[in-house]
Chains A and B, each alone.
Chain A
Amino acid sequence: MSEVIDVSKLDRNFKYQVINEPGGEGLLSCFACGTCAASCPVREVDERFNPRKLIRMVILGMKDEVLQNEFIYLCSGCYLCQERCPQDVGITELMTALRNIAVKEGYLHPSFKAQLEFVYGLGRLYELTEFDNKKRAKNGLPELTPVVDEVKTLLKEAGLSKFVEVEE
């Protein structure tokens, strides 16, 4: 592959944005040793799981590619790479920081977006139906009522409502 990355088109301030985000402080300590890249337990079966490459992209300033990268959402946060990192980059926490930046910048993975829409519309991830309450009553539990408005306020305050595309 001889694709060319034109660094002048990249965002050189992105790395500073990341180190100022809680969780991203260790980013620049990375010396690209590759410990994380071989640590990820999913890497064996899926080439996308490559923390070193992602960190490289962040340092070079490939902001759009990073924030739209599926890996930051797919990472399950097992902390293996973080534990083994010799330079204390804090990779798992860095993933959180990147997700937070992504959300602030208006990027959200479709799967998260779908979940958000549920929560926004229903106040919870699964719809509360009559069947649920019947079952609860049978077992002597109190009835649940959906708390939609409060959740909506919370999501609006958190700046997440902008991702919701459902008609109200």
Chain B
Amino acid sequence: MATKNAVVVGSGIAGLNTAFSLVEKGYTVKVIEKKPYIGGKLRQLDWQFPNDACGMCQMYPLYDPSFCDTCIRRGVAKDGIEFLTLSEVTGIEGEKGNFKVKVIKKHRGVNENCTACAKCEEVCPEYRFSDFNYIKTKAIYKDYPRNFPNLYTIDFEACTKCGKCVEVCPEDAIELEGKDEELIIEADYVFFAPGIKERDLSYLKEFGYGIYPNVINSTQFERLISGNHPNKGELKRPSDGKKPKKIAFIQCMGSRDRQNPDCSSICCMFALKEVRLLREYHEDIEPWVFYMDMRAYTKGGYRYFKTTDAHFVNARPAKVEEDENGNLLLYFEENGKFRKEEFDLVVLSVGTSVDIPQFEQKDGIYLLYDTPLEIRKSIISSYAATFEAEVLEKDEKEYTFPLKDEYSIAVVDTTGKVEKVQNLKVIEIPPLRKNEDVVTLLGKLAEESVDLFVLVVDDRFMAERLLAGRINPLTYEIIDAMRESDVKFATERAYLKLKYRVPVKGKARKPQKEVLVIGAGPAGLSVASSLARRGVRVHVVEKKENMGGEGIHIKRDMDGKDETLLEELVKEVTDLRVPVYTNSVVKNIRGIPGDYVVEIQKGNENEFVNVSAIVLATGASPYAPSEYLYGKNEKVLTQREFEEREIDVKNLNTIVMIQCVGSRNEEYPVCSVVCCRDAIKNALYIKEKNPDAEVYVLYRDMMTYGTSEKYYREARRKGVIFVRYAEENPPVVTEEGGELRVKVHDKIFDMDLSIVPDLVLLSTGMRPHEGNYELSKMLGISLDTDGYFNTLNIKFNPIQTKNAGVFIAGTALSPMTMDEAVLSGKAAASKVLDFLNNFGVNQRYRTSAVRERVCAGCALCVEVCPFEARFIEEDEKVAKVIYDICQACGLCVAACPSGSAFLLGEETKGIMHALSRI
């Protein structure tokens, strides 16, 4: 395998995922990070919407396995990534396949010897302002407990080089003198995954940011409430350290205004999360949220908004005033009444923009995105970007744990505390601190010809990190002397576990490059054309007669131009001669990841195809409305019908559009995302063809997030009238003598508007595809409460599913626009390539295995396995494990009646013997 290099600039969530995906494609990756620690913005956030889960544990095991000694995901760490912190790219020369990336690596002041013991921090007399916790810290600092790399850093702008830290450092880790290094990195591809920049809100003088201490931005609040802030989760407001009783969250600060006209897309959900975080930790605090449009449009977003417990005020406050106690008085209007309300703390939901790097645009250099994205979308973007890098075939490997008649077992002691254990040989070596110590250890083991050993250390994390990837973990058991009350006893137990190790041998099996795509809509076609271009044989199954899915109904884009995206995709798929089975359905799917047999039914004929992976791009269906006289009066149409029928608008006088028809209600609490944009698109079209026509858009929240905010603004400026209605008081459409009449309650007047339209257009949105349930049952994956497919993780794993060979793309995931669907198709294609390239080639140690001699082939383990990692081999009638899928959860071990199922390194017999000593 020829190794190639890629450089990823930025180590936030997008940069990390780009790096992981590149490693799977066979690259050696260097990640360049400006800050002293990797992780980007994610490090500052405790929880993520919309599942209120901590995000860091989704990322840690991937880049630093030693941190997660109890995590079952620890086996997923990616090798082949090198992180360069405190480094910045200064220039890129050369062409694709031959870039020379110039990097300046700043002097950290602390070397790899650092064990983060914090003694230096205690003696340091100088202070700096931390942009992490927004407080003062010492000049030698660490952002928070779980930094990667776990080293201190010196802020040389604050450091006076007094040398006190050098004196106390027990590890000789501090280097006050040192120069910035200039590096030149050779790379075949460069990916930019820039971070977001928070806007400086001090220009909003009336809100007092930077003037009143108790007015803070949302990231500052996130830190303030965090458990790893120096306050340790005790919420103290900045001015006097008192616990606030009432907190105001103000949305759209630094976005959707004169200076920053675009919507920042993420702040609504971000603020909702903070409110929930607050309710969870401090029930006694009363949160108020001031918003203009609640843009909770992401997967699960609307449900999240509806279940958030806060006082919501639909208004932008006018000003914040501070009193002598540091309390803040807010001026605002609620339900048409002027109000003043006192708060203890005001949180401004700060707008963000992407810190777009300067570089020459050329082939081989990719920018992931240029607008702020939520985690989910940024990961999708990173997958889609890595699709551009060609896949480097990985060699097949064998799983080995040598078969031998007898093993020689010894105790390796790095602490000097171990006495004689049974008749074991004790090898004493110095403590494991750096790489050289591991070399010593390996030398000793070879010298004494030891096969298996009990390693006694005083720092398990460090030892595991040093040993990772260098010694087969099945060959040793590790004992942390600092954590054991009786080291001798623990060593004995570990020895017993080693004594009963069962040797295993497995053969990897590389899958065929053949993939099934279900659905030929924009997302499905995007997957198919992308994969076909990479030499993968793709089968596309489409229920309808033609390709294009729901996309064929889209005639114009937001700018009013003809929509050609879909045409291009259809042409590409046709040119690449991808077999498309139209008028066909998937009748049955059997098999396991890497080897599925799919039964495709076309009319009365059934065809079987054998594929390695399946992409579900089943799309969503349009909602069929029955409300607002739809179907009873011919003047009531859906937005789509209006767009498709090319209705002559010259003779139209008044048009009413009603938003959120069949969406965002009790029955279906999901935002369909596209309907606000559709309404604005059609309103702009009407206004262009017939400026005299009056268009009323009756809406609840305009979902023109990101840059599409400009179309909302344009529509207003063209004279489209937007009337907000409340969910509990929807518009009423009546008919009298053939004349339609729409009544809607205008909250600003507290009066009803009565409109006589020539046409009523319903913005109907989408519903999940009805066939999703059948497919989910067939493939053993689950649907979310709304009926869309669940992926492994709603945020951090937005494409892959529990069934390792099944991937989701497009609106089968959640409602999204056509552009987003096409991008997610490309991302899914990228993940399919990663799957095909890695399946069966990675050596895994933490898996279950089978002692085939005692296996009766009862299939109980196959039944209980939640990951479908087990199957019965038909010739030998014994259970087999697909090591790539097994997560070592242990259910099979519990279910196996003959004791043939076991976990590598956790053999039942060894554990039983160890337990018997307690």
Contacts and interface: CB of A to CB of B under 8 A. Distances in A.
A145 B395 CA distance: 107
Given A33-B316, A56-B748, A15 B719 contact: yes
B318 A32 contact: no
Interface in A1-17: 1-8, 12, 15-16
B175 interface: no
Given A29-B713, A29-B717, A35-B317, A8 B751 contact: no
A3 B752 contact: yes
A39 B314 CA distance: 16
B721 A86 contact: no
Contacts of A16: 719
Interface string A51-76: 01100100110000000000000000
A37 B746 contact: no
Nearest to A56: B748
A44 B746 CA distance: 22
Of A15, A35, A80, chain B has the most CB atoms within 10 Å of the CB of: A35
Nearest to B742: A7
A47 B749 CA distance: 12
B262 to A, nearest CB: 13
B331 A86 contact: no
A2 B751 contact: yes
A86 B713 contact: no
Interface in B220-254: 252
B668 to A, nearest CB: 27
A5 B752 contact: yes
A53 B751 contact: no
Contacts of A164: none
A4 B751 contact: yes
A155 interface: no
A158 B191 CA distance: 66
Contacts of B753: 4-5, 7, 60
Contacts of A8: 654, 754-756
Contact of B338 (A1, A4, A37): A37
A103 interface: no
B133 to A, nearest CB: 30
A88 interface: yes
Interface string B267-310: 00000000000000000000000001000000000000000000
Contacts of A31: 292, 712-713, 716, 722
Given A4-B752, A43-B338, A86 B316 contact: yes
B746 A28 contact: no
A85 B204 CA distance: 11
Contacts of A34: 314-316, 318, 332-333
Interface in A128-166: none
Interface string B300-343: 00000000000000111111000000000001110010111000
Nearest to B317: A38
Nearest to B715: A28
A15 B753 CA distance: 17
B316 to A, nearest CB: 4
A27 to B, nearest CB: 9
Given A39-B331, A44-B338, A84-B318, A60 B752 contact: no
B694 A28 contact: no
B333 A52 contact: yes
Contacts of A101: none
Given A1-B750, A4-B752, A7-B755, A47 B315 contact: no
Given A28-B719, A30-B716, A88-B258, A6 B754 contact: yes
A87 interface: yes
A52 B748 contact: yes
A59 B318 contact: no
B257 interface: yes
A60 B752 CA distance: 13
Interface residues of A, number: 38
Interface string B752-777: 11111000000000000000000000
A53 B717 CA distance: 18
Contacts of A59: 721
B743 interface: yes
Contacts of B206: 83-84
A103 to B, nearest CB: 24
Contacts of B716: 28-31
Contact of B315 (A4, A33, A60): A33
B256 interface: yes
B640 interface: no
B223 to A, nearest CB: 27
Of A2, A37, A85, chain B has the most CB atoms within 10 Å of the CB of: A37
A160 B878 CA distance: 103
B105 interface: no
Nearest to B717: A28
Nearest to A39: B318
A57 to B, nearest CB: 8
A9 to B, nearest CB: 9
Contacts of B25: none
A7 B331 contact: no
Nearest to A57: B749
B748 to A, nearest CB: 5
A65 to B, nearest CB: 11
A59 B716 CA distance: 10
A88 B331 CA distance: 20
B319 A56 contact: no
A86 B332 contact: no
B719 A39 contact: no
Contacts of A29: 713, 716-717
A34 B333 CA distance: 7
Contact of A56 (B292, B333, B743, B746): B746
A124 B861 CA distance: 102
A52 to B, nearest CB: 6
Contacts of B493: none
Interface string B689-722: 0000010100000000000000011001111011
B816 to A, nearest CB: 24
Contacts of B795: none
B749 A86 contact: no
Contact of A2 (B256, B292, B752): B752
B30 interface: no
Nearest to B745: A2
A1 B316 CA distance: 24
B107 interface: no
A5 B754 CA distance: 6
A60 B626 CA distance: 29
B138 interface: no
For the complex of A and B, 7 pairs with smallest distance between CB atoms: A86-B257, A38-B318, A34-B315, A39-B318, A33-B316, A37-B333, A38-B331
13 contacts: A1-B750, A2-B751, A7-B754, A8-B755, A12-B694, A15-B719, A31-B716, A32-B722, A33-B316, A34-B314, A52-B748, A84-B318, A86-B256
Given A35-B317, A39-B318, A84-B206, 13 more contacts: A4-B752, A4-B754, A5-B749, A16-B719, A28-B717, A29-B713, A33-B292, A33-B316, A38-B319, A47-B338, A60-B753, A86-B257, A86-B258
